[in-house]
């Protein structure tokens, strides 16, 4: 089953010169199936579950510094997800249990940071940010892993 993530604006990259107002991203399993205007995608994928987000939807980020302090490796990785990131730099994931905690939820461990992009058939790593820059939702490999209450 597909999920249609709709937002006030969709950006394929964070410096996208042509964002899509009232846009959407269709996710099937762990892949992006389509990106475009909400109404167009709703017509193309009428059976998709719809999740509406207030804010700007774009590619999830790479957490570039040390992981936030927390009592357990799982909680440290969850703090990264709450910030809209689904990848961490390898040098910061070397602590006891961090690599395993990242792997369990699908957080990628990268040797170098690289800018993300939302592309058809690419891994569905998405983040939504509100007008104040707070992360509203994080999707990691197609799974909703964080949602602000």
pLDDT for the residue numbered 47: 97
Buried b (16+ CB within 10 A) or exposed e, 115-125: ebebeeeebbb
Mean pLDDT of all residues belonging to the chain = 95
Residues of the chain with CATH 2.30.40.10: 2-60+116-147
Is 80 exceeded by the pLDDT of residue 149?
A: no
Quote the pLDDT of residue 24.
Answer: 98
pLDDT digits (tens, 9 = 90+) for 24-80: 999 999 999 999 999 999 999 999 999 999 999 999 999 989 999 999 999 999 999
> Phi/psi of residue 41, each to 5°?
-70, -35
Domain 2-60+116-147 class? mainly beta
pTM, two decimals, is 0.94
Quickly state the pLDDT bin for 114 (edges 50, 70, 90).
confident
Mean pLDDT of 2-28: 97
């Amino acid at each position: 089953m597909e999920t249609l993530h709709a937002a006030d604006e969709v950006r394929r990259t964070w410096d996208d010169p042509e964002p899509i107002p009232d846009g959407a991203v269709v996710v099937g399993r762990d892949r992006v199936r389509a990106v475009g205007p909400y109404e167009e995608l709703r017509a193309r994928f009428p059976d998709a579950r719809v999740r509406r987000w207030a804010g700007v939807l774009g590619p999830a980020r790479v957490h570039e510094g040390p992981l936030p302090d927390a009592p357990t490796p799982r909680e440290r990785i969850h703090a990264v997800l709450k910030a809209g990131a689904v990848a961490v730099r390898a040098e910061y994931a070397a602590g006891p249990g961090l690599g395993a905690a990242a792997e369990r939820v699908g957080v990628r461990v990268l040797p170098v940071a690289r800018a993300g992009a939302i592309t058809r058939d690419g891994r569905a790593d998405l983040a939504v940010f509100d007008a104040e820059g707070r992360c509203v939702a994080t999707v990691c490999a197609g799974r909703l892993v964080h949602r602000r209450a």
